[in-house]
Amino acid sequence: MRVLVLMLLTVLLASPLWAVKLKLKSEDKEVETTVSSLSGDVVSFKRARKDFTARIDDFEPASAFLIKKQFTPDEPRQQLELARFALHRGLYATARDTARAAAKQDTALAHDADAVSGLCDILEADGLLDTAGAQIEAGKVADARATLTAIRTKFAATPAATRAEVLLSTLDAVELELRAKQLEDEARKSQEVVDADERKKRQPVDDWLAGIQDQVKAVEDKKIEADADCNAGKVLVGLPKYESAANSAIKVRKLIEENRKFLKYRGQPELADRLDQRLRTSLINIYERWGLRLYQMGRYDVARDVANKGIALDPRDRRLLQLRVDIDEMYDPSNPG
């Protein structure tokens, strides 16, 4: 029995199988894995009694290194190649340690080991410099300062250390600029909240003003229709349209005046003023055209009343004043006959 146990132990110790937790890049977590062989870059392994194969770089870098290490002889030059394997996968600390261990075994490899360590320093420092840049972009100035300081102290012999020194010298200005931008963003967001609240409160009046604007446009369109009818010889069709347009304009102006007390928000009083001015202008033009058509028909009494309404709105309108002179030459109110 003792001999049998010793034989089993001998077999187990001679077995190349090795169980460890490894992680493929496609996986979310490490999985207990038994690696049986590495042929070129193809890894054969077993999980839950099932056999699989994958390329070594399908594994996360740390897992790939553990696989490579298992099948790398403990010989100085082979260990130096293992260090380079780690370097190419961004495992800088592991690469340094492995290269130094190889140099301890064979001092003739010290120069090559130092070259690996130096390249690790350069690449790791460059990576940290990118990290600092991203931290600055994200507004994390304190984190960026710590990262740049680490580059300057830990990797002083690298090109990244010089760039880190330059960034550190400008970081205070960057911090002030980022803070100003942050304050600007905060102010903009606060204003957006205020504006949203104002829009909610002012919306009913804005909608009312939009309706008024439509009515003003309708008055202007009605006056254009009346002009077109009269120019086409359909005076009896056009004259009622002048009257309708004038009555609408008077009504809408009255509505604006009666509701001015509700025009409390930015732009509302000014818009109401512009709409009222458009109506006033339309009325003056309506009275001038309407009065002229009546005068041409010989309806001097009615033409005189219409012209007077226009002059009341604008006592200096030359067209209306001339029309009134022409009417007075043809019509004497004291002697209608």
**Domain chopping of the chain, boundaries:** 204-330
Distance CA 148, CA 185 (A): 27
102-116: per-residue pLDDT in tens? Answer: 999 999 999 999 999
b or e along 44-76 (b: 16 or more beta carbons within 10 Å of the residue's beta carbon)?
Answer: ebeeeeeeeebebebbbbebbbbbbbebbeeeb
Q: What is the pLDDT of residue 274?
A: 97
Specify the residue for token string 């099948």.
71
Q: Confirm if 301 and 334 have CB atoms less than 8 A apart.
A: no
Q: Confirm if 281 and 251 have CB atoms less than 8 A apart.
A: no
Q: What is the pLDDT along the chain (337 residues), one digit of tens a residue?
A: 454 444 444 434 444 456 899 999 999 999 999 999 999 999 999 998 899 999 999 999 999 999 999 999 999 999 999 999 999 999 999 999 999 999 999 999 999 999 999 999 999 999 999 999 999 888 888 999 999 999 999 999 999 999 999 888 888 787 777 777 777 777 888 777 767 888 888 999 999 999 999 999 999 999 999 999 999 999 999 999 999 999 999 999 999 999 999 999 999 999 999 999 999 999 999 999 999 999 999 999 999 999 999 999 999 999 999 999 999 999 877 765 5
Distance CA 200, CA 191 (A): 14
From the list 42, 49, 43, 50, the residue with the least C-alpha distance to 22 is: 43
Over 276-305, what HEC string results?
HHHHHHHHHHHHHHHHHHHHHCCCHHHHHH
For the CA atoms of 107, 108, 110, 113, the dihedral, rounded to the nearest 10 degrees, stands at: -120
Q: What is the pLDDT of residue 5?
A: 41
Distance CA 101, CA 116 (A): 12
Q: What is the pLDDT of residue 11?
A: 39
Q: What is the pLDDT of residue 337?
A: 54
Beta-bridge mates of residue 45: 35, 52
Class of the CATH-defined domain 204-330: mainly alpha
Specify the residue for token string 């102290």.
153
Two tokens, residue 283: 């009325």
Q: What is the pLDDT of residue 303?
A: 95
